[in-house]
Amino acid sequence: MPCLFLVGCLSYDRGAANAVAAIGRGDAASALKWSADLADSSRSSRLGVVETGRISMLAGSNTLAEACFRKAIDAAIDHKEKDPVIKLGDAAGTAMAATVTDDWSMTYYLSPYEINLALEYGILAQLFNGRREDALVDARLAIYVQDKLGAEYGADLKKREDTGGKGDAQKTKGEVDRIVGEQGQALNEMIAATRNSWENPVLWWLTGVLLEADGEWDSACQSYRRAGTTGAGNPFFETDMRRADTGTPGPAAGRSKLVVIFEDGFVPRRAALKIPLRLYATMSIDIPTYSNVGAYAPRTISFTGSKGSSPAALGLNVRSLAGRDLSEAMPGIVTRNVTRAAVNVGIEVGGRAGARAVGGDWGWAVWLGAELVNLCMVAFRDADTRSWATLPEAQYVWCDGDMEPGDYQFDVTVDGASSTIPLSLAAGETKLLWISSCGGALRHQYAIIGRR
């Protein structure tokens, strides 16, 4: 059994790396084969579904993408008669699941930032398919989910912070403190750009753009204010937040509005790390980590609108969200692993006691059997490195709400390299342009969000 977990771990890590590389060279078919196999697995199906959705969108297969994100959202959120319930599984807790084997034996649940990005991509896929009304329904769901995550998931994290997140394993408190502290220091630079793992200012802003284009100005204002608060420092979020407080809906009569979401690269993948336990000298624990990954270095991205070239602004640092999600889950991961080490020590101590009690050759056999069990459990155990590997590393936003209608060769400049995207705008139209830079030529798609 432990051998199977090791094979699954190596297969996943290698498969994720191969899928990301395949997307970069334009081979969507190979990447989709990997994600489809993952979606058919018993414990990683939720992850495989969103991977398939993301790869499909990058390949321009929006119908499949929409179906995948719909399935992922329905699996993550129970739609009750009164209020939807978000299912996070053991992602946030310190439950002593998989004590004897490892975290690979646990069913994978999407983490908060992955749920929010599944909602965002589901909305985009619906827009690209011309299903604006469905996108509006999910925009309202996204508002509810983000509020709910802040109220419930955030409160749970605060409770675990107050109690040290150690559960009942008091005898391992020193080991847990040491390991969590070491990993926390390693993640600090990576996570510094975000306050928590569930706030998605781009999703708040996108819901505002959708609601405004639909004529729901008061509701749009609430989303714009939340985008401006969670994405403080982003000039486009702050402009719409000020407009929500003092302005009027746009675009103005006879003008057009263009909204751009630009995606950069791929989020870093997690790696497995073995850390020796001082408490049990011959034991180690296995935890996921990010190797040699620091803070995200923003790129220089600009677009040419009606008033000349102007820079895009970083809207969502996915790298930081992924690191913060791991940081928030680390106390539970470490506690489970330290407890597993204690189980191994118990097996070793029991084997020695049994050997002494039996004596002779049979005693040696009892001791050897216990040691072999321990050897298999420790040698083949590995950290759970599963996470949504095909997400972008960051999302940038740009907006011009006062463009002249007409046909454009829309200029896009990334780190000094320029390209053009053909674009047409009608009077009173709000249009979304989605661009992805993940190897090779820029990928892009359009969606008309509304007309006034």
Sheet arrangement for strand 406-414: 308-311, 301-305, 406-414, 417-425
Buried b (16+ CB within 10 A) or exposed e, 236-258: bbbebbebbeeeebbbeeebbbb
Tell me the two tokens of residue 162: 């107050």
Sign, Cα dihedral of 242, 248, 254, 256? positive
What mean pLDDT is predicted for residues 146-158?
81
**Model pLDDT, residue 428:** 93
Tell me the one-letter amino acid at 135.
Answer: A
Tell me the two tokens of residue 275: 């850390």
The residues, ordered by sequence, that sit 6+ positions from 214 with a Cβ below 8 Å of its Cβ are: 132, 136, 450
The residues, ordered by sequence, that sit 6+ positions from 353 with a Cβ below 8 Å of its Cβ are: none
Tell me the two tokens of residue 297: 């270095």
**Contact between 315 and 116 (Cβ < 8 Å):** no
Q: 212 pLDDT exceeds 60?
A: yes
Question: Mapping DSSP to helix (H, G, I), strand (E, B) and coil, where does residue 342 land?
Answer: helix
Which residues sit opposite 274 in a β-bridge? 286
Between 33-37, 88-92, 281-285, the lowest mean confidence (pLDDT) is in: 88-92
Share of the chain above pLDDT 90, in %: 56
Give the span between the Cα atoms of 92 and 325, in whole angstroms. 9
- The residue with greater pLDDT, 440 or 72, is 72
**Model pLDDT, residue 166:** 43
Residue 402 carries which DSSP code?
E
Q: 280 pLDDT exceeds 60?
A: no
Tell me the two tokens of residue 127: 């827009």
Question: What does DSSP say about strands 394-403 and 308-311: parallel, antiparallel, or unpaired?
Answer: unpaired
Nearest to 92 by CA among 263, 361, 329: 329
Confidence category of residue 351, pLDDT binned at 50, 70, 90: low
User: From the DSSP assignment, how many helices (H) and strands (E) are in the chain?
Assistant: 13, 13
**Model pLDDT, residue 21:** 95
Tell me the two tokens of residue 329: 């889950």
**Model pLDDT, residue 3:** 39
